[in-house]
A and B are shown apart, each in its own frame.
Chain A
Amino acid sequence: MARYVLAILIGLVGAGLVHIAIVFMIPNVSDNSAWSRLSGLGDYFEVVRIGPLRDASVVRPPLAEEELPADGGLRRSFAFSDPAFLVASCRFALDGGPVEISANGTIDNFWSASIYDSQGDNLYSINDRAAIGGLVNLIVGTPQQIEDVRATTLLEDSSALPVVVDVRTGYMTIRVLIDEESKRPAADAFLKTVSCLPIDIRPTAAMPSEPGPAGEARTDAPGPAPAPTLAG
């Protein structure tokens, strides 16, 4: 009898450990986290459109021309999304250098941008009033990479905002408000200009006219970064 009492006690202690282990493990293994779902939508540095999660079981006529394509409708959907917004997103990796997130021109609608780490924690957010000149232009990098960026002329006479994050990978979102249906085409066109690309900050190319292709920038990564040698 005592043996079973002991077994139950051990079981209860084990249950506590299992409980804690599961709770802490889920953010890393969930295949339904925002990161996992974005991974299914596009590769790194690919700008994808995401939308609100809709009830697929209820057949309704489409609400407007913006309707999501029939294929990836559900995969593009995120829980508790605000239906009043158009949202674009991209995943990025900082191994190939800092990442520049920008869009062409300005838009009258409210917009906001967020940077998340791969676990979904919001690291940085900004809206149109806080941005310089209302422009979407963020340079995201590790502390070391932002130091390197400051050594170049990228931040001079520019609306670019440096964003220091302490992660290797992450994702960003840009949301544009559609407060009137007539503003949808402009917001849609604006989001189509969003780019999300690694930039080349080698000293020899201090002022790159245009960011090189992602592959080229990433092949530079294994080489020693210029700043540590200067510091050493």
Chain B
Amino acid sequence: MRYLLAIVLAIGIALGLGGWSAKLAIDGGTNFDTVQLGPWVASPLIGTQDADPYARARLAKLAQLTLGGGEGIMFQAEEDDAGRRLRLECSYLLSGSTPAARFFTVSAHSDTGLVDLPQRGRPGWLTSNALLRGEDNGFTIAVGPSARAGNWLATDGSGPYRLTFALYDTPASAITGAAGLAMPSITRQECRTDG
């Protein structure tokens, strides 16, 4: 009887702790092999055979179609430049330039991968082909719930989200951590407090 209790304890710890830690590591995002440019993070290896086992497991749970090297690379930001979580209630200003690419798109996603589309008639995504640029070829994009002149990406709702910045047909697909590439900065502006 006493042996039985010890066996149950061992099995309980093995299954419980093993399962819990695996779930935590897969969902929480163990970020091996990522490239960070300011607040922007990319995983060039995700969706390749060189990806780490946690990234592979996460990919299998998400049903994400990763971009191949000949297609492009996807950067995502969860925080602004000051390290505060991006929230749908707030407005942000993206400004700067990008690594060389044929074009890029900017969109907003929830943490589980839902695309955040605003109400009809509002721009839920931007492509660089239709972007207004400054004299130095740089650009400024306003992101937020209220309409802006110039480049505006509309968001809607409340809660945390992430910005997705996808570069297409770009040599940056093959970047490593040492690459000196620039991505736009994310500056938080005002936040709505109609909660």
List of B residues within 8 angstroms of A116 by Cβ: 47, 65
B130 partner, pick from A13, A27, A79, A179, beta carbons under 8 A: A179
Q: Decide: A26 near B130, CB < 8 A? Known: A63-B124, A127-B71.
A: no
B contact residues, total (Cβ < 8 Å): 69
**In the complex, which residues 99-148 of chain B have their Cβ closer than 8 Å to any Cβ of chain A?**
102-103, 105, 107, 109-110, 112-117, 119-120, 124-125, 127, 129-130
Asked if B14 lies at the interface with its beta carbon under 8 angstroms from chain A, I say: yes
Whether the Cβ atoms of B107 and A82 lie closer than 8 Å is: yes
Asked if A16 lies at the interface with its beta carbon under 8 angstroms from chain B, I say: yes
Name A5's closest neighbour in chain B (CB-CB).
B6
List of A residues within 8 angstroms of B112 by Cβ: 53, 79
Q: What is the CB-to-nearest-CB distance from B12 to chain A, in angstroms, rounded to a whole number?
A: 7
Asked if B189 lies at the interface with its beta carbon under 8 angstroms from chain A, I say: no
Whether the Cβ atoms of A33 and B61 lie closer than 8 Å is: yes
| Residues of chain B at the chain A interface (Cβ within 8 Å) | 2-3, 6-7, 9-19, 21-23, 25-26, 47-49, 51, 53-54, 56-57, 59-72, 74, 76, 102-103, 105, 107, 109-110, 112-117, 119-120, 124-125, 127, 129-130, 156-157, 164, 166, 168-169
Give Cα A76 to B52, complex, Å.
Answer: 27
CB-CB contacts of A1-31 with B at 8 A, as 1s and 0s?
A: 0011011101111111111011110110010
Q: Decide: A7 near B9, CB < 8 A? Known: A78-B64, A114-B65.
A: yes
Whether the Cβ atoms of B10 and A10 lie closer than 8 Å is: yes
List of B residues within 8 angstroms of A124 by Cβ: 68, 70
Give Cα A13 to B14, complex, Å.
Answer: 7
The 16 sampled A-B contact pairs (Cβ below 8 Å) are A7-B9, A12-B17, A18-B18, A27-B60, A54-B117, A55-B114, A61-B119, A80-B76, A80-B109, A82-B125, A114-B68, A119-B56, A120-B56, A122-B66, A122-B69, A125-B70
B63 partner, pick from A10, A62, A78, A125, beta carbons under 8 A: A78
Whether the Cβ atoms of B9 and A11 lie closer than 8 Å is: yes
List of B residues within 8 angstroms of A154 by Cβ: none
| Residues of chain A at the chain B interface (Cβ within 8 Å) | 3-4, 6-8, 10-19, 21-24, 26-27, 30, 32-34, 36-37, 50, 52-55, 58, 60-63, 78-84, 87, 89, 110, 112, 114, 116, 119-122, 124-127, 129-130, 173, 175, 177, 179-180
Whether the Cβ atoms of B65 and A78 lie closer than 8 Å is: yes
| Most B CB within 10 A of own CB, among A27, A61, A180 | A27
A24 partner, pick from B53, B69, B157, beta carbons under 8 A: B53
Q: What is the CB-to-nearest-CB distance from A66 to chain B, in angstroms, rounded to a whole number?
A: 12
